[in-house]
Amino acid sequence: MTEFKTIDPAAVEMLKIAAEENISTAFSRAEEVKPCPIGETGACCKICFMGPCRLVGKTTRGVCGADVHTVAARNFARMVAGGASAHSDHGRDLAMTLLHVAKGEGQGYRIRDVAKLHAVARYMGIPTDGRTKEEIALDVATEALANFGRQTGQVTYVTRATKKRQEIWKKLGIVPRGVDREVVETLHRTHEGVDLDPENILRHALRTSLADGWGGSMLATDIGDILFGTPAPISTEINLGVLKEDQVNIIVHGHEPTLSEMIVAAAQDPELIAYAKSKGAKGINLAGICCTGNEILMRHGISPAGNFLHQELAIITGAVEAMIVDVQCIMQALASLAENYHTKLITTSPKAKIPGATHIEFDESRALDSAKEIVRTAIDNYPNRGKTRIPPIKNRLVAGFSHEYLNYMQGGIYRGSFRPLNDAIVQGRIRGAAGVVGCNNARVPQDEGIYNLVKEFVANDVLVVVTGCAATGSAKYGLLSPEIWAATGKGLREVCEAVGVPPVLHLGSCVDNSRILTVLTQMATEGGLGEDIDDLPAVGICPEYMCEKAIAIGTYFVASGAYVLFGVHSPVSASDVVTRLMTEGWESQVGGKLEFEPDWRKILEKSLAHIDKKREKLGLVPWDPNRFGKSGDAVMMEYLKTVAASK
Ligand code: MSK
């Protein structure tokens, strides 16, 4: 570990400057502000005004009599509801944009992926034959929006889960009805004096999370693809070194692609580029942070300047003319930090204002004009730039993998499938699969768990998919670049080389964890690996979770059958009952379980043991690291190396 809580040399460089200049960052505040030891474990109840009641030591019940198990379960369920709300409101906003586009409104937006529109229409049972894309889009948007307010029945995409999974949900009574209904019901149940049974509370938390994963998030991904294009592999660079000394640097940060897509278009506008030149810059350089960064990386190859804990560090470079933010994961500290530099912090969403920031409302009815106004503000700020210190640190990455592209790579347009991947797992060339997702958390060394886990998984023949800040966290160290091949297990390497994909696949932003649900479901239905997600030799890991969205994601993966491990600490450790319900209890009910384990080495150990156990249960050959790696390609590479050495 370095002197600072990060393994990123670019972050270290900026944190040294921050320390010298007495600038506060999340890294320094995490040292100064100690976490509340009672709230941290889930033992603090503050849902009524007889409290807050802190259930520690001899205090085993709050004023109303609630015990620590009820309190911890309630706190957890509210986190799930918070996370589900954030993702789902994002999905709702995209559905509204699609509705506007279908009606010929929404300046600058259009339907970019008609094939995806048709695929989504098919999922929804909407006819496509002989209809214009606008007519289909109108029905798709209307059906998508119905998912939020539906009171009975089920969210549309429940039918995309395996039959077995749907039966499990039905039997348990956790088929999600409508997104808003499940979230509101969680808030009602966890109000003072309503649902006081931890098991019952947690069961509804599962239902609420499913409304996110198979509802709001999946809709956000699908509609994002329809409007902005389904990602395909694309290569660029990452980290603070992508900022440019001689250009207007604009960073987009937050989550919703409706804003960032228009900023991308505005930044490429010849008039605005000329305007930037008139101010003495050589051009406009756009970069991303957090999941907005992932959205524009996946679809346009725009370089990310970093992940969650880089948002302040980017401003400290002194080279950022504007940081444009919308919703989620945006630190309030950015406003006071920006006062020390020339950077303009521009908020754009009516839902998310920050005192001290400049608010330029992003108006979707004149989206491109709004985006141009914002970019112009950034350009106007270029002459105010003072001393810059951009760390010359960056790495290459390949991103842009979608479920559709993976199908295509494994069989072409007409015979796309997951057969080669499943076969490779059956043969033991690939040991299993791991999803490494989620945030940075200033309480643990930035990227340490993410980096080590991804590196160890590929070395052990485990195919890795990454999303969110774990994806950018991996990419900063070359794990998404060709450098990774040398560190990849022989069997995994052989398969990936044959299929033409890297061993670490960037699947997108936080809402795009729904792409992983789709991939896992297809693997389960493809044949050879059981019949549902809980049969697969696969794990989901969130090593550095920071927010409620991560909790919602972890919970919907568990409800979908996955073994999920979170790092940092357990937010329910005060209750052995809740801890048991989330592990043994959920495993017996839905086949998946949720564990919290701060040590990444133990996460690795548990993950590999789980993968091997599932292989054994499926009757597959035990994984052998030396059995493969002697295919034609590998032999040819060795031969070529020998020839080259002999010259
Ligand atoms: S941005 S939710 S810190 S992944 Fe999606 Fe990163 Fe976590 Fe925010």
In single-letter form, the type of residue at position 289 comes to I
The three-state DSSP-derived secondary structure of 601-643 is HHHHHHHHHHHHHHHHHHCCCCCCCCCCCCCHHHHHHHHHHHH
Q: Render pLDDT for 31-84 as a digit per residue (tens, 0 to 9).
A: 999 999 999 999 999 999 999 999 999 999 999 999 999 999 999 999 999 999
Distance between Cα 283 and ligand 1 center (Å): 29
Closest residue by CA, ligand 1 atom 7: 439
Ligand 1 contacts (CB < 6 A) are: 255, 290-291, 308, 329, 438-439, 468-469, 509-510, 546-547, 549-550
With H, G, I as helix, E, B as strand and everything else as coil, classify residue 506. Answer: strand
**What mean pLDDT do residues 590-599 have?**
98
Q: What does the alpha-carbon distance between residue 394 and residue 13 come to, in Å, rounded to a whole number?
A: 13
625, 431 contact by CB (below 8 A): no
Structure tokens at 166: 């749907």
Distance between Cα 624 and ligand 1 center (Å): 36
Closest C-alpha to 120, from 263, 230, 235, 280: 230
With H, G, I as helix, E, B as strand and everything else as coil, classify residue 507. Answer: strand
With H, G, I as helix, E, B as strand and everything else as coil, classify residue 595. Answer: strand
- The fraction of the chain above a pLDDT of 90, given in percent, is 91
573, 69 contact by CB (below 8 A): no
With H, G, I as helix, E, B as strand and everything else as coil, classify residue 79. Answer: helix
Q: Render pLDDT for 433-485 as a digit per residue (tens, 0 to 9).
A: 999 999 999 999 999 999 999 999 999 999 999 999 999 999 999 999 988 99
Q: What does the alpha-carbon distance between residue 568 and residue 35 come to, in Å, rounded to a whole number?
A: 12
Kindly report, as residue ranges, where domains of CATH 3.40.50.2030 are found in the chain: 240-384, 396-634
| Strand-by-strand arrangement of the 344-347 sheet | 304-306, 284-289, 248-253, 322-325, 344-347, 358-359
Kindly report, as residue ranges, where domains of CATH 1.20.1270.30 are found in the chain: 61-228
Counting from 1 in the atom list of ligand 1, the atom nearest the Cα of 467 is 4
> What CATH architecture applies to the domain 240-384?
3-Layer(aba) Sandwich (3.40)
pLDDT at 629: 73
Q: Pocket of ligand 1, candidates 255, 329, 467, 514: which has the most ligand atoms within 8 Å of its Cβ, to mutate? A: 329
Q: What string of DSSP letters covers 243-284?
A: S-TTSEEEEEESS-HHHHHHHHHHHT-HHHHHHHHHTT-S-E
CA dihedral angle for residue 603, residue 609, residue 614, residue 619, rounded to 10 degrees: 160
Question: Residue 2 pLDDT more than 50?
Answer: no
pLDDT at 632: 54
Q: Mean pLDDT of all residues in the chain?
A: 95
Secondary structure E strands in 509-600: 538-542, 563-566, 593-596
Distance between Cα 328 and ligand 1 center (Å): 8
| Number of C-beta neighbours around residue 340 at 10 A | 15
Residues 6+ apart with CB under 8 A from 232: 400, 402, 405
| Number of C-beta neighbours around residue 638 at 10 A | 11
Long-range contacts of 364-369 (CB under 8 A, 24+ apart): 364/96, 364/97, 364/100, 364/106, 364/107, 364/109, 364/258, 365/100, 365/105, 365/106, 365/107, 366/107, 367/106, 367/107, 367/108, 367/109, 367/258, 367/262, 368/107, 368/108, 368/262, 368/265, 368/266, 369/107
77, 201 contact by CB (below 8 A): yes
Give the relative orientation of helices 163-172 and 198-211 as an angle to the nearest 10 degrees: 140
Structure tokens at 550: 């991560």
| Class of domain 61-228 as given by CATH | mainly alpha
Q: Render pLDDT for 595-629 as a digit per residue (tens, 0 to 9).
A: 999 999 999 999 999 999 999 999 999 999 888 87
| Class of domain 396-634 as given by CATH | alpha beta
- Confidence label for 227 from pLDDT (cuts 50, 70 and 90): very high
Q: Render pLDDT for 124-169 as a digit per residue (tens, 0 to 9).
A: 999 999 999 999 999 999 999 999 999 999 999 999 999 999 999 9
Closest residue by CA, ligand 1 atom 3: 439
Distance between Cα 545 and ligand 1 center (Å): 8
Secondary structure E strands in 499-616: 504-508, 538-542, 563-566, 593-596
Interior CA angle at 636 toward 631 and 638, to 5°?
100
Q: What does the alpha-carbon distance between residue 426 and residue 619 come to, in Å, rounded to a whole number?
A: 9
